[in-house]
Structure 1
Amino acid sequence: MTAFSSEPIIKLEGVDIYQNGNKLVLSDVNFEINKGDFVFLIGRTGSGKSSLLKTLYGDLWLESGKGKVVGYELQKMKQAEVPFLRRKLGIVFQDFQLFFDRNVEENLEFVLRATGWTDKSAIKTRISDVLMQVGLGTSPKKMPHQLSGGEQQRVVIARAMLNEPQILLADEPTGNLDPEVGEQIMQVFQTINTAGTAILMATHNYDFLKKYPARVVKCENGAVTEIQ
């Protein structure tokens, strides 16, 4: 076990990232993320942040270089393995992608059942745990339209945490929220990180970088560099 736990959760070596199969957006990307790290991913719109995240969760194929994410070798991965890779990751998007015809609990239950959970009481317990974790313990029966934008984003984070991922990948998770609510969401991420889950968060909010010191990785001019 020790050998496994000391291995990086994400490791990219000499990776080139293409958009639409042919447009090179980032070249010779090398970086790793270890257990419990908090990493901000910054860069202008169009600098390749989303493409980098998509490569990590198997939405874009790794064409060249070597990438290992939660034990999966991206350059060798088959389409059929993508759902298994994603079960070990938590993914938080800017748009919430909730089912608006189901309540909070049903939204979360759908994901657990889709990922192989069958035991009713285990499902109920896990849902209640993740809702407590994001500060929504009293809202399982609410419909998404009864929640504020910030509360909906908390549901999305709870959903991402359901299968106890080793890392959360968050793409501009506060992009659609006003500053005060964005701050609350940032604190939810801090709590999750303190409890041991690594986080890679793409953000345009430079206040966060000052307020929550962490590693910062920047996409710029086709390269990915760590900012010291």
Structure 2
Amino acid sequence: MSISSEPVVMLERADIYQGDKPVLADVNFHIDKGEFVYLIGRTGSGKSSLLKTLYADLWLQTGSAKVAGYELHKIKRSDIPFLRRRIGIVFQDFQLLTDRSVEENLTFVLRATGWQDKADIARRISEVLMQVGLGTSPKKMPHQLSGGEQQRVVIARAMLNEPQILIADEPTGNLDPEVSNQIMEVFKTINNAGTAVLMATHDYTLLDKYPARIVRCEDGEVKSS
């Protein structure tokens, strides 16, 4: 990595709001390309609001932020889909289309983001499923998968457009410890291959087992170690 390469996330003097209510003030932090960062803090401390601001689900009210090359304080609504192609988003509650197979869930996302060639689509789906250890499951329906397998599909979906950063909001929140560790191994593999990861978590055992930089939401501020 060259010294001059720009961070994938950069916030300066940013104020984060949930509706009219300020939740975090004067936020300054950055995430470098390929870095792994944990986001921790109590429920209601502003973690989810901060993540939603990063993928432009909440507008940045004051200050500046740049994510994957897009300036959030200036972003046009029409550019938000392009920003989100450079970000992979992993939710706690999967949000898979239950009436479609794994393959069809992933095809839906690729077609929605402009992919047209069937061979290219099939190849990319095969690549991401192999990456998360689900290479044999493309025809399965979500209800045929365990919680851990469904979360792997969600991670595969987030990786489809080769994002610069994965933003994960409590991705192990509904999983038991053994499965959580398996999911962390998937994230570490993706991270080691060069994708930055920002993961919000309540599971502090993961911080000990998979150490990385920690950013903390506390008392209306973001504190970075």
Q: 2:169 corresponds to which residue?
A: 171
Structure 1 residue 179: Cα displacement: 1.0
Q: 2:93 corresponds to which residue?
A: 95
Question: Residues 67, 4 of structure 1: CA spacing in aligned structure 2 closer, same or farther, 3 A cutoff?
Answer: farther
Instruction: Report SS of the residue matched to 1:177.
Output: coil
The TM-score with structure 1 as length reference comes to 0.97
Q: 1:223 corresponds to which residue?
A: 221
The TM-score with structure 2 as length reference comes to 0.98
Instruction: Report SS of the residue matched to 2:199.
Output: strand
CA distance in 1 between counterparts of 2:190 and 2:121 reads 20
In structure 2, runs of 5+ residues without a counterpart are none
Structure 1 residue 96: Cα displacement: 0.5
Structure 1 residue 5: Cα displacement: 7.0
CA distance in 2 between counterparts of 1:102 and 1:4 reads 44
List, as ranges, runs of 4+ consecutive aligned residues in structure 1 with deviation greater than 6 Å.
2-5
Question: Residues 135, 3 of structure 1: CA spacing in aligned structure 2 closer, same or farther, 3 A cutoff?
Answer: closer
Cα deviations by residue, 1:151-173 (Å, 9 ceiling, x for unpaired) = 00000000000000000000000
Q: 2:70 corresponds to which residue?
A: 72
Q: Over aligned residue pairs, what C-alpha RMSD do you find?
A: 1.2
CA distance in 1 between counterparts of 2:211 and 2:92 reads 22
CA distance in 2 between counterparts of 1:4 and 1:94 reads 34
Q: 1:209 corresponds to which residue?
A: 207
- Paired residues for 1:15-94 under 5 Å: 15-20=14-19, 22-94=20-92
Matched, 1:199 2:193: no
Matched, 1:108 2:106: yes
CA distance in 1 between counterparts of 2:22 and 2:130 reads 42
Identity value in percent: 74
**Which residue identity does 1:79 align to in structure 2?**
R
**Which residue identity does 1:226 align to in structure 2?**
S
CA distance in 1 between counterparts of 2:173 and 2:77 reads 30
**Which residue identity does 1:131 align to in structure 2?**
L
Structure 1 residue 4: Cα displacement: 10
CA distance in 1 between counterparts of 2:3 and 2:133 reads 32
Structure 1 residue 78: Cα displacement: 1.2
Q: 2:5 corresponds to which residue?
A: 6
Structure 1 residue 80: Cα displacement: 1.1
CA distance in 1 between counterparts of 2:181 and 2:209 reads 10
In structure 1, runs of 5+ residues without a counterpart are none
CA distance in 2 between counterparts of 1:12 and 1:61 reads 13
Query: Paired residues, what number?
Result: 225
